[in-house]
Amino acid sequence: MQQPDPPDENGEPLVKTAALNSSSFIEWRTAALFMVVLTTAIVLWFEPWSERRVEPASVERMASPLPDKPSIAVMPFANLSDDQNQESLIDGMTEDLIIDMSGMSALFVAARDPVFEYKGRKYRIRDVAENLSVGYVLEGGVRRAGVRLRVEVELIDALSGEYVWAENFDGVLDGVSALRARIAQGVLQQLTTEQ
């Protein structure tokens, strides 16, 4: 003859308590499985191991024919510092970099005014390249800490949609001309080896 299950402190049989614990375990296991599936889906969607890409530009949709030499738009650099009073410094750095690179006979550089129309706006690399008739786009940001500067730049091949180069350049405020020259030379080297 089977003995009834001994009661717990509330007078309920212990088997019922074990069944409740089993139910909680199944809910916990289902929640954990859901989190694993969700995490896997997110990782697969963003593919952090793959190359960064943007939607490629079309030569047929360009406003004018591409120049015979490497062509680039230097987009207004972003302020990566907490200090919002750095805008004039950063805009000046972008403008001077456009001027410096325009003096390089091996490059065609989009003019300052059409480029600065994109300042503060969201844009697609494809649209910039097609509107300004360039094959490459340079994006960047400036971080200032006291007299020290760090300029982060990324070069995008607008026709393939691939990020082809990224670099950080460190310098100081009173050496900003030398810092710009290093950036311009780095870009020139990348563009002439890409061709």
Phi, psi (rounded to 5 degrees) for 171: -165, -170
Q: What is the pTM of this model?
A: 0.73
Q: Domain spans of the chain?
A: 1-50, 59-194
Structure tokens at 189: 């080297």
Structure tokens at 143: 């971080």
Write down the pLDDT at residue 24.
72
Superfamily of domain 59-194: TolB, N-terminal domain (3.40.50.10070)
Each residue's pLDDT tens digit, 86-98:
899 999 999 999 9
Average pLDDT over residues 3-11: 59
Phi, psi (rounded to 5 degrees) for 56: -65, 150
Average pLDDT over residues 39-49: 55
Write down the pLDDT at residue 160.
94
